Amino acid sequence: MSDIHAEFKEQPGDDPDDVQFNTLYGVRTIQLNRPKKYNALNGSMIRKIIPRLKEYQKSALASIIVIGGAGPKAFCAGGDVSQLAKDIAENGETGQTTSKSYFGLEYKLDHLIATYPKPYIAYLDGITMGGGVGLSVHAPIRIATENTNFAMPETGIGFFPDVGGSFFLPRLEGFLGTYLALTSESLKGVQALFAGVATHYIDSSVLSNLTARLAELVFKDYDTLHTRLRIIDRTIEEFNTGLPHNESPQLAGNLRLAIDYCFRYDTVEKIISALEKERDSAQAPPQIKEWATRTLAKLGEKSPTSLKVTLRQMRLGARWNTAETFNREYHIAAKFMRHPDFVNGVSARLIHKPATKAKWQPDTLEGVTNDHVENFFKIDEGEDSLNLLTQGLDYDRYPFERDLGLPREEHVEQLVKARARGREDIINAMVEAKEGKIGVREKVEEILGRRTGMNGEGNVVWKS
């Protein structure tokens, strides 16, 4: 590991035990080990993980990387933003510079994961938020359990959904990503699978058995990454114990239609107006009216600056590749370190016990001008760029998305439009194509129910 840059070497004060690494035949496990802090990610941990990943990348003996968290509650509850906010509050510009350096280090790790040339598997067993999302969502294989609690809560602390959220969230189906980014809504258990956040779902009780089974896999030297991931995919399905209580997608039907309708707009004001119309509509179902009321209340608690910057981020990020994503987020994060909402939000929500209401500056959407928002996306002259650790492996879409996750709407649409067929024929074709993968039937049924109708001959037709 002598070629690893000095910024990744251990520093005074680093905890020697905050990450644990183990070997089981060809599997290399990474366990975040700060359970009392919900495995919150800090610089000490990142400085350990990056060199190990680079080492595993070069080793012919390391075939599969598995990352998880210690303790029963969290995979990783986020970056240690409380410490960053305290540093800024106490040390001003010096603290801002230190915090910017931390985010640069974190984003280098996230980008390394996103472009990693070997199978990388994340166990989302427990709370998975903020920095924990960066360690997991860019992995080709992301396993949810009954304990999964996924969210991006940054707009509530005066920040923005970083760690590659600019890339991941806009590429979720419809406007789910925008909804999750602005509201901080959480996805629990198998709902992370249905929403596309996870690629697999198994019970947490079999994770250790799965790791042992993965260690038995032997790949051929000429197997491509795609081939290896397909083998792993089929291996994970060996541990399929079914959906919990036959649970179906929750962000579905009329609710999903309402999400896509309300969060399609390019200004926060128009989104709020659409939600108000749903709330006040005499035709809207009661559950949609209640949802709109709750969502408006949630948005009212968020930083107005964070809301507007995040919405703009969702629209621009849909066009960024992975390298541009992390470079852009690096500069956006630096701007937030200089904005009062970050320290105010983190202090109010995470440091004060009990939590208090944050005092946002400005405290209204009207006070956040377009120029103010656009300034977050300008790269100032003389600003340093992020020196990413991987070159030439960037992409515009996740390369293994179609093969490893549940079917997406566009996949079902293609099948429906390919030739005339009935509803059950389409479902069976999708289940067969996915080799009986857990959740496929439920996901396809939801899509068909929301996006299709039947013609006079009993065949499914796609609604435009």
In which band, very low, low, confident or very high, does the pLDDT at 306 lie, cut at 50, 70 and 90? very high
Determine the Cα–Cα distance for residues 437 and 432; give it in Å rounded to an integer.
9
Cis peptide upstream of residue 161 (ω within 30 degrees of 0): no
In which band, very low, low, confident or very high, does the pLDDT at 464 lie, cut at 50, 70 and 90? confident
Is pLDDT at 261 greater than 80 in this prediction?
Answer: yes
* pTM confidence score: 0.96
The residues, any chain, with a CB within 8 Å of residue 367's CB and separated by 6 or more, are 304
Share of the chain above pLDDT 90, in %: 92
Can you give the pLDDT at residue 1? Answer: 43
Is pLDDT at 265 greater than 70 in this prediction?
Answer: yes
What does each C-alpha distance from 177 to 111, 185, 250 come to in angstroms?
20, 10, 15
Location of structure tokens 């210690």: 70
Residue that wins the pLDDT comparison between 385 and 128? 128
12-35 per-position pLDDT tens digit: 999 999 999 999 999 999 999 999
Ramachandran class of 130: left when φ > 0, alpha when ψ lies in -120 to 50, beta otherwise: left
Identify which of 418, 403, 416 has the alpha carbon closest to the alpha carbon of residue 447: 416
Coil, strand or helix at 32: strand
Is pLDDT at 4 greater than 80 in this prediction?
Answer: no
Determine the Cα–Cα distance for residues 214 and 26; give it in Å rounded to an integer.
8
Can you give the pLDDT at residue 91? Answer: 95
Angle between helices 176-183 and 253-262 (to 10 degrees): 80
* Annotation says 131 is catalytic: yes
Determine the Cα–Cα distance for residues 116 and 13; give it in Å rounded to an integer.
29
Name the catalytic one among 26, 79, 95, 132.
79
User: Which range is least confidently modeled, 78-82, 174-178, 263-267?
Assistant: 78-82
Q: What tokens appear for 245 in the block? A: 């209580």
Angle at 31 between CA 134 and CA 321, to 5 degrees: 20
The secondary structure of 403-459 as a DSSP string is HHSPPPHHHHHHHHHHS---HHHHHHHHHHHTTT-TTHHHHHHHHHHHHEEE-TTS-
- Tell me the CB-side half-sphere exposure of residue 425, using CA atoms within 13 A: 10
Name the catalytic one among 80, 162, 185, 445.
162
Give the number of other CB atoms < 10 A from CB of residue 302: 25
Q: What is the largest CA-CA distance in the chain?
A: 73
Identify which of 240, 277, 211, 171 has the alpha carbon closest to the alpha carbon of residue 31: 211
20, β-bridge pairs: 31
Name the catalytic one among 80, 106, 154, 329.
154
Is pLDDT at 224 greater than 80 in this prediction?
Answer: yes
In which band, very low, low, confident or very high, does the pLDDT at 246 lie, cut at 50, 70 and 90? confident
Q: For residues 135 and 311, is the Cβ–Cβ distance under 8 A?
A: no
Can you give the pLDDT at residue 178? Answer: 98
Find the helix or strand (DSSP H, E) in which 188 lies.
strand 187-188
Can you give the pLDDT at residue 6? Answer: 75
Is pLDDT at 3 greater than 90 in this prediction?
Answer: no
Determine the Cα–Cα distance for residues 160 and 321; give it in Å rounded to an integer.
18
Location of structure tokens 């984003």: 107
Can you give the pLDDT at residue 48? Answer: 97
How much is the average pLDDT of 160-183? 98
* Annotation says 154 is catalytic: yes
What does each C-alpha distance from 261 to 141, 167, 254 come to in angstroms?
30, 21, 10
Location of structure tokens 């515009």: 396
Can you give the pLDDT at residue 385? Answer: 87
Q: How high does pLDDT run on average in the chain?
A: 95
Determine the Cα–Cα distance for residues 80 and 83; give it in Å rounded to an integer.
6
Can you give the pLDDT at residue 170? Answer: 98
Q: For residues 65 and 53, is the Cβ–Cβ distance under 8 A?
A: yes
Is pLDDT at 117 greater than 70 in this prediction?
Answer: yes
Share of the chain above pLDDT 70, in %: 99
* Annotation says 110 is catalytic: no
Name the catalytic one among 43, 69, 131, 134.
131
* Annotation says 79 is catalytic: yes
Q: What tokens appear for 83 in the block? A: 């410490």
Determine the Cα–Cα distance for residues 113 and 306; give it in Å rounded to an integer.
26
226-239 per-position pLDDT tens digit: 999 999 999 999 99
How much is the average pLDDT of 419-436? 93
In which band, very low, low, confident or very high, does the pLDDT at 366 lie, cut at 50, 70 and 90? very high
Can you give the pLDDT at residue 382? Answer: 80
Strand-pair category, 74-76 with 127-129: parallel
Angle at 453 between CA 448 and CA 457, to 5 degrees: 120
